Amino acid sequence: MRSQFAADIVVAIHFAYVAVVVLGFVAILIGGAAHWRWVRSPYFRLTHLAMILLVCLEAALGVACPLTTLESRLRLDAGATAYSRDFIAYWLDRLLFYDAAPWVFTVLYFAFGTLVILTFWLIPIRFRHSD
């Protein structure tokens, strides 16, 4: 039971990671147009870029996401052969995992990564200058 709960926590962390990458991109676009200063923060932008580049690197190397691997191991430890059927974990899994060829995901990750890189040109980061 403990492993099952831990697997559900890993799914939630995985979902949060994906949400930060996707919603962070949306926030950059909206914030650039709305002149929100925080979306030009080098800390936010470089962290956001690193997050998507990590996903691209995993895809390019053909490495499974460590969160997916950990979740699967925890579910197997709990005696499950598939994802749990409790409500939250079920829907988080449904939102995160799709059945497609690996190359499709690699193309999507790199396309999204390219869009994130383009935001550095369209909405450049700003470093604070001491006056």
Length of the chain: 131
How many angstroms separate the CA atoms of 18 and 66, rounded? 14
Q: What global pTM score does this model have? A: 0.82
- Taking only the tens of pLDDT, the chain with its 131 residues reads 688 889 889 989 999 999 999 999 999 999 999 999 999 999 999 999 999 999 999 999 999 899 988 988 998 888 876 555 555 666 667 777 777 788 888 999 999 999 999 999 999 999 876 54
Alpha-carbon distance values, 119 to 48, 116, 123 (Å)? 11, 5, 5
